[in-house]
A and B are shown apart, each in its own frame.
Chain A
Amino acid sequence: MNGEKVIRLLSVGKRFGSRQVLRGIEAEVKAGAIVSLVGASGSGKTTLLRCLNGLETIDAGQIEIAGHAVGPNPSDTALTLLRADVGMVFQDYQLFPHLSVLDNLCLAPQVVRKLARPEAEKRARHLLEQVGLGDRHGSRPSELSGGQKQRVALARALAQDVKVLLLDEPTSALDARTRDEIVGILRNLVQRGERPLTLLLVTHDLHLAEKLSDEVWTLVEGRLANVVT
């Protein structure tokens, strides 16, 4: 099962107006792998990550991810199906401030997957235990520290039972100790899951990239310049 390719990028191109942000990207990721995307600011790392979740649409090529194929003009339905399998953690977390931690986790399973509340809640509590926040399910996001918010964001993305998790700068806003905690949690998630979870993370932190990943991709001006295994 580990040999299966969970992500395949075929000549992926993306432009914003006249600016070509991604150029002919070709790459594959094995299920259960951890891949770090590095590169200078403006090299297209975050754009690539957003394309993988359908937050941006590509102009050329094709993305195959978690069993979904997405081209330049994806339908809304295709994207919704894709997102059920591909989770995203934002750099600034984007927790929902009007909902409790537990409700942040339950929202998508209840609304998108139509899970009954008890079922959604059971899974959410389990995930919160996994990220070490079992006692904070009633809190509002505004009452949490940066590291706690990051862990809630992780758990929220995983609540959909995703196959691929995309993370944008998961440790940039955290101090060294918290960063190590997050790294530990990510490792655990990948290793302990009942099925392979693939991580793709954008980072500026080369140390983190090397310590955590199976592969490090370097993007230069929208091209995949280097892949280190």
Chain B
Amino acid sequence: MAHAGDLDDVKKRGELRWGGDLQGGEPYVFEDEQQPGKIQGFEVEIADALAHELGVRAKFMQNDWSNLVPALERGDFDVILNGLEETPERRARIRLSAPYYTYGETLTVRADSKIETLADLKGKRVGTLNQTVANDILKASPLEVVLYEGQQEPYMDLAKGRTDAVLLDHVIADRYGCVLKELRCLPNDVARGHYVLGIGKDAPALQDAINQALGALQRSGKLEGILTRWKLWDARQKPTEPTPVPSATAPGGAGASSAEASRTVAPLGAATPSSQPSAAPARHFGAGHALLFLKGALVTLLISFCSFALASPLGIALATLRLYTGRPGRWLAAAYVEVFRGTPLLLQLYVLYFGLADVIRLDPVTAAVLGLALNYGAYEAEVYRGALSSVPHGQTEAARALGLSRWQALRHVVFPQALRTALPAVTNDFVALLKDSSLISVITVVELTKRMTILAVELRDWITPGLMCAALYFVMSFPLARWARRIERSLEPTPAAEAGNAAGAA
């Protein structure tokens, strides 16, 4: 494993490797639409300027945002430069630079909403991104947090009425939320904080060098130039002394409104991270966590059961359509199977939840159940098609010869035999669905795997939550496989099972 380079390594390499996530989008770091592969953003320019100060080149390293800190610790890059908020937890874990930007937590609500402060959100659903200060603030409040993966989705859902508010950095709110006519951004910042660079624990020299470079960029006005070019320079940036700020949040008395920043600092509530102990206490996996895991497992199990209970009849219907009806029915069933089997489940979930939101407004759980059911219906159709085809044609003829109609022959003779043939494959598919259901976290459902990743980041430990998560999946799937085997066996002809029926027999 490579070590996060200290200053010497960076200089020797001639490269400052900086980690970020392109999915974070405009204005941080994102791909140029006109030139795929070329990246831009205010952080790209800051990285280039910092590297220039250090006398090296900047090299961007793509990394999933929520795992930037572990990746830095693994040595995948030298610094994190991607809207990383200064928090006591992060300060206790890695080195943080001086701030390069001051953000305000902006509360966005629907235009017609009466909500004016965080306190009005008691018991309501509020969207945000995971691993953010906004999430920490919300978690400490008596409301339901809805976690998203991308920046646009929280505002889309808010506009559609799926949530009551969104709390995120003003940088995001200004670009993705306040611009929507259905939405309104509240004038007061809920809290303020700083974006900082994350630097490896073992790289004190690099931390010093970065801080000096930042100071130089501030004094020369280069930083202001970059921020102005990206329309990020506002009143919040005025007290820009590049002194390391020990506290995580807002300089309380930050100047009031100016032309650029119409929002002012709201009085900080007890919910802000600044009220937390400055050094994060070591947290361990406890009973409360176990309970959360069980809850996640229950969500996984319920959603899997519900969706499979829909997918099975759908599959049988599709297989029947494909085998026993005329050309239009056959074509329709075949097209359905190919489309749903040929495209990723993840994409189908996105389309169903976000894409079709204007047509049908589904809540996350309904969308998850429906998405999984529609997708697995296609697979079940193929399983049942195979099973139905495996029943000899003579069986249908025998039933027909006895006077049964086509449908009666299917219902009483072909289906019962096909179901038994299909059972092993169907069970297999259910176990697969149980695990595929982890994908529904993209539409804000917190199921078992999502619970695991949230907790893992919180506890800074992937092993205990990972094992716990694996154990729960196993506990759910293993008995199912056993149970299916039992049913399968009970359907096989066994003289012993029939002995009880033969009451009159010797």
Q: Which residues of A come within 8 Å of B, CB atoms?
A: 53, 55, 76, 80, 83-84, 87-88, 90, 92, 94-98, 100, 102, 107-108, 111-112, 134-143, 156-157, 160
Task: Tell me the complex Cα distance, A154–B394, Å.
Answer: 16
Given A135-B505, A140-B493, answer yes or no on A88-B498 (Cβ-Cβ < 8 Å): no
Complex interface: chain B residues within 8 A of A95 (CB) = 398
Q: Is B8 an interface residue (CB 8 A)?
A: no
Complex interface: chain A residues within 8 A of B502 (CB) = 135, 137-139
Contact indicator B501/A138 (Cβ below 8 Å)? yes
Task: Report the minimum CB–CB distance from A213 to chain B (whole Å).
Answer: 22
Residue of B nearest to A93 (CB): B398
Instruction: Report the 7 A-B pairs with minimum CB-CB distance, sorted nearest first.
Output: A138-B502, A94-B398, A140-B493, A108-B402, A83-B403, A138-B501, A88-B401
Q: Is B416 an interface residue (CB 8 A)?
A: yes
Contact indicator A94/B397 (Cβ below 8 Å)? yes
Q: Is B404 an interface residue (CB 8 A)?
A: yes
Contact indicator B493/A143 (Cβ below 8 Å)? yes
Q: Which residues of B come within 8 Å of A, CB atoms?
A: 392, 394-395, 397-406, 408, 412-413, 416-417, 420, 491, 493, 495, 498-499, 501-502, 504-506
Complex interface: chain B residues within 8 A of A55 (CB) = 397, 400-401
Complex interface: chain B residues within 8 A of A138 (CB) = 498-499, 501-502, 505
Task: Determine chain A's interface SS by DSSP, over half rule.
Answer: loop
Task: Tell me the complex Cα distance, A138–B505, Å.
Answer: 8
Task: Tell me the complex Cα distance, A107–B417, Å.
Answer: 15
Contact indicator B401/A142 (Cβ below 8 Å)? no
Complex interface: chain B residues within 8 A of A111 (CB) = 404, 408, 412
Given A90-B398, A96-B395, A143-B493, answer yes or no on A80-B403 (Cβ-Cβ < 8 Å): yes
Given A96-B395, A135-B505, A143-B495, answer yes or no on A112-B403 (Cβ-Cβ < 8 Å): yes
Task: Pick the contact of B402: A100, A139, A141, A156 (CB < 8 A).
Answer: A156
Instruction: Give 17 A-B pairs besides A135-B505, A138-B498, A139-B502 with Cβ atoms closer than 8 angstroms.
Output: A53-B401, A55-B400, A83-B401, A83-B403, A94-B395, A96-B399, A98-B420, A102-B501, A107-B402, A108-B402, A108-B403, A111-B412, A112-B404, A135-B502, A139-B495, A143-B495, A143-B498
Contact indicator A142/B493 (Cβ below 8 Å)? yes
Complex interface: chain B residues within 8 A of A88 (CB) = 398, 401-402
Contact indicator B493/A160 (Cβ below 8 Å)? no
Instruction: Name the residue in A53, A108, A142, A156 with the highest tally of chain B Cβ atoms < 10 Å from its Cβ.
Output: A108
Task: Report the minimum CB–CB distance from B73 to chain A (whole Å).
Answer: 60
Contact indicator B412/A100 (Cβ below 8 Å)? no
Contact indicator A112/B499 (Cβ below 8 Å)? no
Complex interface: chain A residues within 8 A of B505 (CB) = 135-138
Contact indicator B394/A94 (Cβ below 8 Å)? yes
Task: Report the minimum CB–CB distance from A1 to chain B (whole Å).
Answer: 25
Task: Tell me the complex Cα distance, A150–B272, Å.
Answer: 83
Contact indicator B394/A90 (Cβ below 8 Å)? yes
